[in-house]
């Protein structure tokens, strides 16, 4: 997911499934467990029933999948709804519309170089002076415009030398104006 979204390690994990348009692994696991449990429950002649319902368990699990599956079934688990809830709880409000389980985020079809830069602007985690200094690749966190701290946010919205004239909404929707600015940006985020 890091490779697809082009996000550096410092990017919080909740961004990755949304930017790479892949359902989070934990939710896929729950969905698969539930599907398997329903399939097995609907056919009592399967030999697996003798194994999953033993009288004496040889090894005890603190979190048996059988118990999890029953709980998920009882609470009518909906993986996509759980993903949306998690995203809304974690991501800044401006980016909430970015998660649409039915289609990839805007700008997903852009050439990789542009898509990576777009995602780094969205997350605020790019190779700006401040981050390069934090990661030990540079000793100067300042911007060439004179600002003492060159953050991704500064480059995008505040820098007098190169700031984008539009809003966050342009990066959310990947508007032609935002894409043009990404193309012409003189700093490689």
Contact 186/150 with Cβ under 8 angstroms? Answer: no
Cα gap 125→92, rounded to integer Å = 14
Q: Give me 132's structure tokens.
A: 């390069």
Give the span between the Cα atoms of 111 and 82, in whole angstroms: 31
Q: Is 19 in the site for Zn ion (CB under 5 A)?
A: no
Query: Any idea what the Cα angle at residue 17 is, between residues 8 and 176, rounded to 5°?
Result: 75
Our CB check for Zn ion shows the closer of 159 and 179 to be: 159
- Smallest separation, CB 157 to Zn ion (Å): 10
Region near Zn ion per CB under 5 A, out of 63-71, 101-109, 135-143, 168-176: 135-143
The answer to whether the beta carbons of residues 104 and 21 sit under 8 Å apart is: yes
# residues contacting Zn ion (CB under 5 A): 4
Tell me the window of 27-35, 42-50, 144-152, 175-183 that interacts with Zn ion (CB under 5 A). Answer: 144-152
> What is d(CA 26, CA 13) in angstroms, rounded to the nearest whole number?
12
Applying CB under 5 A, the span of 5-13, 64-72, 119-127, 141-149 interacting with Zn ion comes to 141-149
Among 18, 121, 143, 189, which residue interacts with Zn ion (rule: CB under 5 A)? 143
Residues 6+ apart with CB under 8 A from 7: 15, 16, 19, 119, 120, 123, 125
Among 159, 178, 179, 189, which residue sits at the site for Zn ion (rule: CB under 5 A)? 159
- With CB under 5 A as the contact rule, the residue among 121, 147, 172, 178 that binds Zn ion is 147
- Asked if 145 is part of the footprint of Zn ion (rule: CB under 5 A), the reply reads yes
32 or 148: CB nearest Zn ion: 148
In angstroms, give the least distance from the CB of 150 to Zn ion.
Answer: 6
Region near Zn ion per CB under 5 A, out of 50-58, 81-89, 124-132, 153-161: 153-161
Residue pair 22/4 in contact by the 8 Å Cβ criterion: yes
Q: Report the residue number, 22 or 145, with the smaller CB distance to Zn ion.
A: 145
Mention every residue, 6+ apart, whose C-beta is less than 8 A from residue 152. 120, 121, 123, 124, 125, 126, 128, 131, 189
Q: Which residues bind Zn ion (CB under 5 A)?
A: 143, 145, 147, 159
């Amino acid at each position: 997911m890091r490779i697809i979204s082009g996000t550096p390690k410092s990017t919080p994990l909740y961004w990755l499934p949304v930017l790479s348009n892949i359902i989070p692994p934990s939710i896929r696991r729950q969905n698969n467990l539930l599907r398997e449990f329903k399939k097995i429950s609907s056919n009592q002649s399967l030999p697996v029933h003798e194994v999953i319902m033993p009288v004496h368990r040889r090894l005890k699990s603190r979190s048996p999948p059988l118990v999890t599956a029953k709980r998920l079934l009882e609470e009518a688990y909906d993986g996509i709804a759980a993903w949306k809830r998690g995203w809304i709880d974690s991501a800044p409000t401006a980016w909430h519309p970015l998660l649409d389980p039915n289609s990839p985020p805007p700008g997903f079809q852009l050439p990789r170089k542009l898509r990576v830069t777009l995602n780094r602007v969205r997350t605020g985690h790019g190779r700006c002076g401040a981050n390069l200094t934090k990661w030990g690749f540079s000793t100067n966190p300042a911007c060439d415009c004179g600002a003492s701290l060159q953050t991704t946010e500064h480059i995008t919205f505040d820098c007098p030398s190169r700031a984008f004239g539009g809003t966050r909404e342009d990066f959310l929707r990947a508007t032609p104006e935002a894409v043009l600015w990404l193309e012409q940006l003189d700093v490689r985020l």
